[in-house]
Amino acid sequence: MKQSMKDKVAVVVGAGGGSGRITALEFGRQGAMVVVADMDEEKAKSCAEEIKKNGGNAVSFACNVRNEDEVKALMDYAVDTYGRIDVGINIVGTNTDFTDITEVSSENFDLMYEINQRGMYYCMKYELLAMKKNGKGSIVNMGSVGSLVGQRKQGAYNATKFAVAGMTKSAALDFAQDNIRINCVCPGPMMSDGMKAALEKDPNFADQYLVDVPTGRFVEQQEVANAFIFLASDLASGITGVALPVDGGMAAD
């Protein structure tokens, strides 16, 4: 069964690359009107142009989620351009350190908090305000397997990603009566562009990440995008407040 986004307005934050770009392109193929947002203006424009080249409808917007005014301006732009927001995809996050918390600098801790937690809060806040006026909506946030289980040498990152799952679940309860569904996708170790570059330098670099993955492989960006697309779609109309692992079985342990 094919999900359909026909005539829906989707804001995809973090659509400049990776699973965000894949998600935005698929929304365009399915007939959505897509607002492609990314901190990198050129990458956002490139994604929007590809959607239009394939016959879709898209605009781009440069947005740094650390800046509340920019996030508000993004959501206002979406409403001004297309009249409403039906779907909010928030692919927000960074991990600066792979070490225990005693070795994470205060600056890096603050950066992870500002992007992963506060940036997510800004996105959700202004999407929800727009969706309440429309009387419906679906939000899908980027969590992590680190939203569900503790991980060695990722304590600061886990703290912010546990917060994403908490905000997702709490907001799902608060806005269920407004016909707004809120879920998050929780990937395990993913074959990102950064991981590909690391593996080119050191073929054994992956070993430390795959030791706890039952399937023994990285999650592909397309697999993560598939989860975003499903949870955003009407096929998931009965699902809210879920933190969905896409992790090769890590959270099952």
Average the pLDDT over each of 108-112, 138-142, 193-197, 224-228 and give the range with the smallest value.
193-197
Model confidence at 184: pLDDT above 70: yes
DSSP of 186-215: EE-SB--HHHHHHHHH-TTTTHHHHTT-TT
Model confidence at 1: pLDDT above 50: no
Model confidence at 251: pLDDT above 80: yes
Q: Which residue shows structure tokens 């804001």? A: 11
Residue 13 belongs to what H/E stretch?
strand 9-13
Q: What is the pLDDT of residues 74-108, one digit of tens each?
A: 999 999 999 999 999 999 998 888 889 999 999 99
In eight-state DSSP terms, residue 235 is G
Model confidence at 211: pLDDT above 90: no
Provide the 10 A C-beta neighbour count for residue 251: 17
209 is a catalytic site residue: no
Q: Which of 113, 122, 157, 209 is catalytic?
A: 157
Confidence category of residue 3, pLDDT binned at 50, 70, 90? low
pLDDT at 135: 96
- pTM of the predicted model as reported, rounded to 2 decimal places: 0.95
Mean pLDDT, the chain, whole residue set: 94
- Domain 9-190+221-246 CATH assignment equals 3.40.640.10: no
Rounded Cα gap, residues 249 and 72, in angstroms: 37
Q: How far apart are the first and last CA of the chain?
A: 31
What backbone phi and psi angles, to 5 degrees, belong to 104? -90, 125
Q: Which residue has the higher pLDDT, 212 or 119?
A: 119
